[in-house]
Amino acid sequence: MCYVGVRRTAGEMALLCKPTVHVPEHVITLDDTLAIARRLHAGHPDLGLVLRLITSTGVRTRHLVQPIGRTLRHPGFEARNRVFTAEAKRRIPAVVASALVHAGLEAEDIDLIVFVSCTGFGMPSLTAWMINTLGFRPQTRQLPIAQLGCAGGGAAINRAHDFCTAHQGANALVLACEFCSLCYQPTDLGVGQLLSNGLFGDAVAAVVVRGDDQATGIRLDGGASYLIPDTEDWISYAVRSTGFHFQLDRRVPRTMEPLAPVLQELAKDHHQDPSGLDFYIIHAGGPRILDDLSRFLGVPAQAFRHSRATLTEHGNIASAVVLDALRRLFDAGGVPDGGSGMIAGFGPGITAEMAMGTWTDRTRPAGRPRLEEPL
């Protein structure tokens, strides 16, 4: 097995702080989803199978940026993209402000913004708007990531790690903005497409990676990337005049078998037992991913409880999944100081973005006032 890995050396530091996650106010339950599927696709020959698959995902609630009636209408790609930009600008400021509070930093302390989204597009990136309106310095570097799908959250953490270790003392902000409901396509009637209609949700999430150890968080010890050969058409978008059409190959649920050895090798490269880590933050694209990793890595299902909770309460929120699962780890009190763990996101390619980290318990920096959290 071969992957590209980065290991931390003395004097370099990247500390992943507590994330902030926002889910929109419009809620759709599993019962709502099943009722809509029955109403819209009453004559579909595979309706029974679709209903069983949606139920088996374990998703109980999802959050949408628009009411369900508006979500189910398709006013065109241009109109939907306008909604993406408007809703992002409405929700991002409070999420960013809260993530900065968690890190004990101000906007002017950030040297890089990594912006991740696979559900909307604009040029310039929303990073330019953030710099102009949210107090970031004009010198702040921008790194938009658009085409890694659900792997984007892991990739953003790894790119922030790369930057902070390359530039001693630098700080990075990772922001994931995913409005998957804006990609709903009423004319896509394949089983995989109908399943996705009951799986994906919307969220905005942000986290700071500090270039020092002056906060409680996860010290990022090294990252890795891996692409399963010849699988680039297994998860994809067909880009048409109506927007992004999600395409999912039936072989995708079996991808954990080739990826598990990569995760094991990464842990061993950092002198850790892959079956005995203190925390696992894994992209919850569906329950099969977590079930298979539990079996292949030899860890109890409980090890993935934070990822399962994200899937159950929010659905698959694409690149924001790993940030929400991380937030749950922090809310649960983390693990004992020095505990080791793994972060992994999976997406199109098929691509895996992985990182090893060590829980680091620190007090807030002296002399920095604690601000009231806006969220």
**Residue carrying structure tokens 């763990």:** 341
The pLDDT tens digits of the residues spanning 140-160 come to 999 999 999 999 999 999 999
Task: Report which of 319, 327, 370 is spatially closest to residue 347, judged by C-alpha positions.
Answer: 319
DSSP string, 145-164: E-SSGGGHHHHHHHHHHHHH
Residue 33 pLDDT: 97
Q: One fold for both 15-210 and 216-360? A: yes
Taking CA 220 as the corner, what is the angle to CA 264 and CA 205, rounded to the nearest 5 degrees?
A: 100
Q: Chunk the chain into consecutive blocks of 10 residues (it has 375) and report each block's average pLDDT, rounded to whole numbers.
A: 43 90 98 96 95 95 97 95 98 98 97 97 96 98 95 97 96 98 94 92 98 95 95 89 86 89 96 96 90 94 96 97 98 95 95 97 49 40
Which residues make Cβ contacts (< 8 Å) with residue 123, sequence separation at least 6?
Answer: none
**Residue carrying structure tokens 């090798």:** 265
Check whether domain 216-360 has CATH 3.40.47.10, yes or no: yes
One-letter-per-residue 3-state SS of 202-259: EEEEEEEEECCCCCCEEEEEEEEEEEEEEECCCEEEEEECCEEEEEECCCHHHCHHHH
CA atoms within 13 A on the CB side of 150: 31
Which residues make Cβ contacts (< 8 Å) with residue 113, sequence separation at least 6?
Answer: 127, 130, 131, 136, 140, 141, 142, 143, 172, 173, 175
The pLDDT tens digits of the residues spanning 69-109 come to 999 999 999 999 999 999 999 999 999 999 999 999 999 99
Give the integer Cα–Cα distance in Å for 307 and 314.
10
Q: 15-210: which CATH architecture? A: 3-Layer(aba) Sandwich (3.40)
Per DSSP, the chain holds a count of helices (H) and strands (E) of 11, 15
Residue 194 pLDDT: 92
- Residues catalogued as catalytic: 150
DSSP classification of residue 200 = B
What are the domain boundaries of the chain? 15-210, 216-360
Which residues make Cβ contacts (< 8 Å) with residue 49, sequence separation at least 6?
Answer: 191
Give the integer Cα–Cα distance in Å for 102 and 99.
5
